[in-house]
Amino acid sequence: MDNMKPVRILFVCLGNICRSPLAEGVMRELASRAGCGDVVSVDSVGIGAWHIGHPPDRRSIAVAKAHGIDITDQRGRQIDAADFVAFDLILCMDRHNTSELLRLASPETAHKVHLFMKFAAGRNDDVPDPYYETADAFEALYQTLEAGCSSLLAKLERPS
């Protein structure tokens, strides 16, 4: 990926234990497999502070592991003002996350905040929160995130 510019991506969900850590793991793995892991930097955060310092939900860990991805070293953290400056793309899992971050962003950084599936795949869809669901919902989450991250990576690989 010689023509790919370095990019710093931040995935955001409500608590940073289900969707965004899995998206971080999936994107990191896909970028590595594509040979551009050195230019794609990925992290994840939550809007809320409930899970700061906690590992991802065991069901997110399990579905990631089933697909050959290890997210066990991730720890939950909350978005802060420095993130708006440090990252090039801030990709939110749902409309609520997006509106909350647009409220927190400065006028100079608001252009970085996007609904993940709309930015990545052109679909104005939320990524459903599986927290109160069964393990099957986490497999569906993985499939959604893999498709979105694949589209995002293809978009980033195309020279602008």
User: Tokens representing 112?
Assistant: 């970085």
Q: Check if 8 is active-site.
A: no
User: Tokens representing 143?
Assistant: 């499939």
Q: Check if 18 is active-site.
A: no
CB 94 within 8 A of CB 105: no
Strand partners, 43: 10
Q: Which of 13, 18, 36, 92 is catalytic?
A: 13
As a whole number of Å, the end-to-end CA separation of the chain is 13
Q: Which of 18, 19, 28, 92 is catalytic?
A: 19
CB 74 within 8 A of CB 25: yes
CB 16 within 8 A of CB 46: yes
Q: Which of 18, 57, 129, 149 is catalytic?
A: 129
* Interior angle at CA 143, CA 39 and CA 47, nearest 5: 65
Q: Check if 95 is active-site.
A: no
Catalytic residue ranges: 13, 19, 129
